[in-house]
Amino acid sequence: MSWLSGKTSYKSANMGEDHKKEGGTTNSSSYKKNNYTKTTTFAAPTTGLEDVFFDYGTGCKPGEFKNSVDHLAEYLATHLKYEGPTLAKAIKSRTVPVFEVPKDLTKEEEDKMTRRALKEYDTSYETAHKGKLNWKNNNEIAFSKFLSHCTPSMRGKLQGMETWTVIEEKMDGLGLIKLLQDITFQQDGSKQSILEIVEAVRSLYVCFQRKDQSLEDYTKEFKMRLQVIETLGISVGEDNASVKLICAKENLDWTMVLSNQTKLKEYRKKTKERYAAVLPYQRPQFGRVW
């Protein structure tokens, strides 16, 4: 059966009794519904997270991508029976967890070990082995969950991607999330116009806090817009003028820093962090609309 045929369902010993099928409720008290105008009638199957979905075309919202991924990761973290937090961390970092399996012991090495050391060795081996099995199962569950939150247009786009067949066969949840990110931020080979890049940059610099918007929500919105332009390959606060200014404040010779690539990279990163920390608070009075 193709996972693109409609809503997915799964049963797993790793899910709580009330979440053996697609759906369930979210117990995250901090979850807030997306506050943008919907361009699709699609509703995701997870109760409480119906408006968290991945769309392609006019309904694509790059600024909401991180937020949507985080909500689903947190949902899975609290509803999986085993290693839920490990899966959530892997999703957010887009990194497969490493389970260090102890090397096999020779008879000579085993004979030299105390009973306690052997017990610790066996425990480490068993923990790593279980971790690998849980990861495989959880990654497949993540595949089902994230795919169920894809609109028909996104599913159609996924079908046309070169790596989709392998990801679908393996039920690779992390692979699916990376593919969704590539599509959302047009890193899938789609043509990107200069106008889209300009609009993304402009969207960041005119992001001001509304009168009815909390500081927490505003900060999240700003960070999402910053993520969009960084994913497009645009650096903020890493220009030579800004880096030179930071170096001067620390009494560093700019020529020396410029000739040392390691030092230059270090100070570009430091300048970027300071720039991004200051930028969201350089705004006009509340009530400015963007």
| DSSP symbols for 120-158 | HHHHHHHHHHHHHHHHHHHHHHHHHHHHHTB-HHHHHHH
Task: Quote the pLDDT of residue 46.
Answer: 95
* Distance in angstroms (rounded) separating the CA atoms of residues 290 and 206: 6
Q: pLDDT averaged over the chain?
A: 81
Using a 10 angstrom Cβ sphere, with 0-12 exposed, 13-18 middle and 19 or more buried, the burial of residue 34 is middle
Across-strand partners of 150?
A: 54
pTM of the model: 0.62
Residue 209 has pLDDT above 80, yes or no: yes
Task: Quote the pLDDT of residue 276.
Answer: 83
3-class secondary-structure state, position 47: strand
Ranked by mean pLDDT, which of 1-15, 109-123, 189-203 comes out on top? 109-123
Using a 10 angstrom Cβ sphere, with 0-12 exposed, 13-18 middle and 19 or more buried, the burial of residue 177 is buried
Higher pLDDT: 271 or 191? It is 271
Pair 76, 146: CB distance under 8 Å: no
Task: Quote the pLDDT of residue 290.
Answer: 40
Task: Quote the pLDDT of residue 191.
Answer: 55
Tell me the two tokens of residue 268: 């570009």
Task: Quote the pLDDT of residue 196.
Answer: 67
Residue 55 has pLDDT above 80, yes or no: yes
Residue with tokens 């008290």: 29
Task: Quote the pLDDT of residue 11.
Answer: 39
Higher pLDDT: 204 or 132? It is 132
Residue 17 has pLDDT above 70, yes or no: no
Instruction: Name the percent of the chain lying above pLDDT 90.
Output: 42
C-alpha separations of 29 from 18, 26, 126, 145, 146 in Å: 19, 8, 36, 20, 21
* Distance in angstroms (rounded) separating the CA atoms of residues 189 and 191: 6
Amino acid at 1: M
C-alpha separations of 217 from 13, 54, 67, 157, 248 in Å: 37, 21, 11, 31, 35
Q: What value does the mean pLDDT take over residues 75-97?
A: 95
Least confident of 19-28, 83-92, 140-149: 19-28
C-alpha separations of 256 from 120, 167, 183, 270 in Å: 52, 48, 41, 17
